Amino acid sequence: MIIAAYLKALAQITDARFLRVLALGVGLTIALLFAFTVAFAWTVGLIVPDSFSLPWIGEITWVDNLASWAVVPVMIFASIFLMIPVASAFTGIFLDQVADAVEAKHYPGLPPVAHVPFSESIGETLKFLGLLLCVNIVALILALIFAPFAPLIFWGVNGVMLGREYATLVARRRMQPEEVRSFRKRHSTTFWIAGVCMAIPLTIPVMNLVVPILGVAGFTHLFHRLNQA
């Protein structure tokens, strides 16, 4: 059932609404990282003195320029790691549109849903990312202690978090909060396995940018399948 859900999601990846969410997430991420790089370089330029003197050498006047330019390759390297959580955050804000696209194609005739306000969506996304960060810090500590099992720890912990979050995200569209909690609890194992299936490709560059979209699409299929059971 989980594999079938993700295969259906993958088959719809060229949907214009899927691509729009992906483009928004990646575009906003690049813009943010560029702005952060410029601001960081400017701050370094302010902190590092324009010139200073060294014994036997004399006055040095090029250090501030060197430091400012050195920030650029450092931030480019850091963006390889920063782009993933930031892109996931931006993409998560628009994931409701992905669920709409899935339901419009595969589940026509459903009554309209009451969409979560944009401000509330941002708040929930930030809350989830904060929790995910804290959990992964704990997972990192465990991975350092039990190094041979590091991948399993990462997949298992993030599988729980991702399964819980995406199941909630999809179910809340058509259920009351109490029903969502009950539904999530009944199918916790299924959602955990589906979350692990998301966590594994999160370790693959470029592919991990598409994971949030495929995740919400796959969980939308799982929701309708399990809700009929």
13-72 pLDDT, tens digit per residue, is 899 988 888 888 777 777 777 777 777 766 766 665 555 455 555 455 545 555 555 666
- Pairwise CA distance, residues 198 & 1, whole Å: 15
92 confidence band (pLDDT: 50, 70, 90): low
pLDDT at 84 over 80: no
pTM greater than 0.85 (yes/no): no
Residue 2 near residue 193, CB atoms below 8 Å: yes
Mean pLDDT of the chain: 78
What pLDDT, on a 0 to 100 scale, did the predictor assign at position 61? 52
Report how many domains make up the chain.
1
Element (H, E) at 69: helix 63-93
117 Cβ contact partners less than 8 Å away, ≥ 6 residues apart: none
Average pLDDT for 140-147: 81
What pLDDT, on a 0 to 100 scale, did the predictor assign at position 174? 87
Beta bridge partners of 53: 59
- Pairwise CA distance, residues 80 & 85, whole Å: 10
- Pairwise CA distance, residues 94 & 96, whole Å: 5
What pLDDT, on a 0 to 100 scale, did the predictor assign at position 134? 77
Residue 221 near residue 106, CB atoms below 8 Å: yes
Identity at 144, one-letter amino acid code: L
Percent of the chain with pLDDT over 70: 74
Any idea which residue has 């350092």 for tokens? 144
Q: How far apart are the first and last CA of the chain?
A: 12
What pLDDT, on a 0 to 100 scale, did the predictor assign at position 95? 77
Residue 87: domain span: 2-228
pLDDT at 91 over 90: no
Q: Please tell me which residue, 116 or 191, carries the higher pLDDT value.
A: 191
pLDDT at 165 over 70: yes
